[in-house]
Structure 1
């Protein structure tokens, strides 16, 4: 019997395993899933909302428990950490995280789905008690357990997606919140002129945002618990510290085995998610999820993009191919949305610095509109920024900051980017209109019209 070994039991790994099982059946393929933690198939994206008390957890965040996968014919082994891949012997070296017992598991095909690792500032005290990450369900539980009534001040290090979501969670819990971000503005996935809108609105919500913060250390009290975060410009008292500093590909296992990595540190694959390269030892080796890098369809460059949407799609592609079918993952346009309290933030495509790096000559257009007809109750301001290539008018990117359903408007732009539409094409789209949902001219269309005027000059 052929054996498929999957390293990683979350979105990409279990999607690949499940699809392979569905297509191959149980007759000639044994599937072993190695997961070092106690959970499978869970939504890490939901952790901030669990911490904030908006959703239940951790069970509500688990899409499929290990016993569900086992009932479907997957040999799921929890508490089993992969420590090495031997491509010559076609074996994975593993260790039982509870007992320390070592073993080796042979494979015919291998899926590397090791996910991403949180970035931790290399400063003194960063591993102190009271400093929390939010990468796993265990992290979420530890942070909730740390929310004692006498702890009233939270410092969030990092102003990206996780950082602002955790700032909201701490605010929902009634804590005083300071966000320390090393960038000129929070949300570095936006251009600074859009990031400043997020900064201003967070301050208006009572969240103190310190831009350009150079974190130099974490101070602790006599009990070893965190008491302050030290920056180059001052010290910020803290009863809790939450890390929202982003993630990097957890690709060390692949690197040590000699598998190819890209410039971002993610595993490089082809369109079918097979590991890149002509080395015959790479036959039957696949990778998917947050440990890989992907092609950006707008810039034409490879990048790391850690999102559950990509992980699930890539895992499905891997499983279909292992199952004898043909499937590809062509790439991404870089769509992401988030929120802090009632402020919605969205982007897709390229920022100005991305367009510069890719060599585009472009124009930008920024407009203010409302999410509903201006006279309809509840209409609120929305800012849309659009980038378009100067010569062709091709849409290059869109950013949105606003309220009242602003963020999901980004999906129109994501489709337009994938279809390589021009901003002139966008102005003619037949988008839905009714006063409760949009002005006569939808904000996307207003921005496209302004961008089309600028590239035509």
Structure 2
């Protein structure tokens, strides 16, 4: 009697954080080790961790690094996922369906064949091409290893002066972390206001709040070099006309997709440098290669264009979609509306959809309104002020974007707008939403609905002959 045994497939995953290990774990749920072998390469020391939590670990809100780890390498291995730490993939041979990897400790290199490949290489912090940018005491913060290196520097630094270069999400969160550590913090920002993901009028509110916390904000300033002392360590950050003393420097300029491997292999990249995929997260033009997380570009459902957005929420969803498809199921990732929320001390900052310049860039005409309200009924104790800005398309009234800056209870209100954007609602339709109300939680008219009423009225008046 002849008995044939089906050859076991091999899935190779490059990158051991959110997208990569979510994909590996989901594929394992659908296919056992007798059907699918899974090998995951990770150049760091950790897997499945929260990069978004690093500023709060550095700042002391999270006291134990291991609390940021959702699943350890040992836990993955117990589920028959061959995790290889401190191993960096250096080359993709797509025609030969294999990857070259180097052990970072021994230097040994070897080729590993695959049947299916997942690229989840993440993003890398932007390091300016400046003198001194690689000096001791200058840190980018993207991985747990980066966070540990920064904490080691803080522990060994006697001075208490910190300079953060950049005022986006990373810069603002790291400014708070260093302030919590007792440092004098200066933020040097190339833009006119912090948080370029907001319109400048809303960024101004963040600027005022940060200054009120004791953070020195320096806007419209381009860093020209990082100065070092006789010991080679950082001593100051220089702009064209000033120097800012520094015992530690954190680069919060942002991140770029880590796609050097993909570029060298000839895989398709978008205008932002991220990998391009279809809705199943399969790399365009490749039947056996998927990609997800911070190394890809995603569809913006509001503008209809591709964007690069580095967020753990997206990465985990990408991984679930990839793992389902690799495991023989079917799943898609439809796109995003660009929702993000952050904070600096007690100030909450949120946005979703398009800014004014985003709308103009894609040829949309719109109305913009800004309202002031409170987080609770005005007579209820501890009601705090909140500013909401809303953009709606001219004539149609379709919601285009919302930005919120305020104290407790402000940030997560952006989720109302995120749902409305995803559903394609108009400002007028939003005014009828049946939101929860009680004086401890909101005014009778929630601030987002107040903004919707004002936007709807402006749309009506602008289209009336």
Smaller-chain TM-score range?
Answer: over 0.9
409, 414, 423: which one pairs with 1:410? 414
In structure 1, the residue matched to 2:396 is 392
In structure 2, the residue matched to 1:80 is 87
* Greater Cα offset, 144-153 or 42-51: 144-153
128, 141, 154: which one pairs with 2:135? 128
1:81-111 residue CA offsets vs partner (Å, 9 max, x unmatched): 0001101111101111001111000001000
Aligned equivalents of 2:234 and 2:348: distance in 1? 32
Shift in Å at residue 224 of structure 1?
1.2
Aligned equivalents of 2:332 and 2:90: distance in 1? 29
TM-score, length of structure 1 as denominator length: 0.98
In structure 1, the residue matched to 2:123 is 116
Structure 2: stretches of 5+ with no match in the other structure: 1-7
Aligned equivalents of 1:107 and 1:150: distance in 2? 50
1:286-326 residue CA offsets vs partner (Å, 9 max, x unmatched): 00110000000000000100000000000100000111111
Aligned equivalents of 2:56 and 2:85: distance in 1? 26
Alignment map for 1:208-357 (pairs within 5 Å)? 208-277=216-285, 282-357=286-361
Shift in Å at residue 215 of structure 1?
0.1
In structure 2, the residue matched to 1:436 is 440
Aligned length: 453
Aligned equivalents of 1:195 and 1:115: distance in 2? 28
Aligned equivalents of 2:376 and 2:241: distance in 1? 43
Shift in Å at residue 143 of structure 1?
1.3
50, 69, 74: which one pairs with 1:67? 74
Shift in Å at residue 134 of structure 1?
1.1
Aligned equivalents of 1:265 and 1:108: distance in 2? 26
Shift in Å at residue 149 of structure 1?
6.1
Could you say what secondary structure the match of 1:202 adopts? Answer: helix
Cα pair 2:157 2:247 within 8 Å, conserved? no
- Asked if 1:52 corresponds to 2:59, the answer is yes
Cα pair 2:438 2:444 within 8 Å, conserved? yes
Alignment map for 1:100-111 (pairs within 5 Å)? 100-111=107-118
- Asked if 1:364 corresponds to 2:368, the answer is yes
1:226-273 residue CA offsets vs partner (Å, 9 max, x unmatched): 110000131101111011110000011111111111111100000000
In structure 2, the residue matched to 1:157 is 165
In structure 1, the residue matched to 2:18 is 11
Cα pair 2:41 2:87 within 8 Å, conserved? yes
Aligned equivalents of 2:274 and 2:157: distance in 1? 41
* Greater Cα offset, 248-257 or 141-150: 141-150
Shift in Å at residue 391 of structure 1?
1.4
In structure 1, the residue matched to 2:214 is 206
Cα pair 1:213 1:233 within 8 Å, conserved? no
Aligned equivalents of 2:427 and 2:299: distance in 1? 23
Aligned equivalents of 1:111 and 1:155: distance in 2? 37
Could you say what secondary structure the match of 2:217 adopts? Answer: strand
The change in CA–CA distance for 1:6 and 1:149 in structure 2 (over 3 A counts) is closer
Shift in Å at residue 57 of structure 1?
2.9
Shift in Å at residue 13 of structure 1?
0.3
- Asked if 1:453 corresponds to 2:457, the answer is yes
Structure 1: stretches of 5+ with no match in the other structure: none
Q: 4+ residue runs of structure 1 moved beyond 6 angstroms?
A: none
Alignment map for 1:89-100 (pairs within 5 Å)? 89-100=96-107
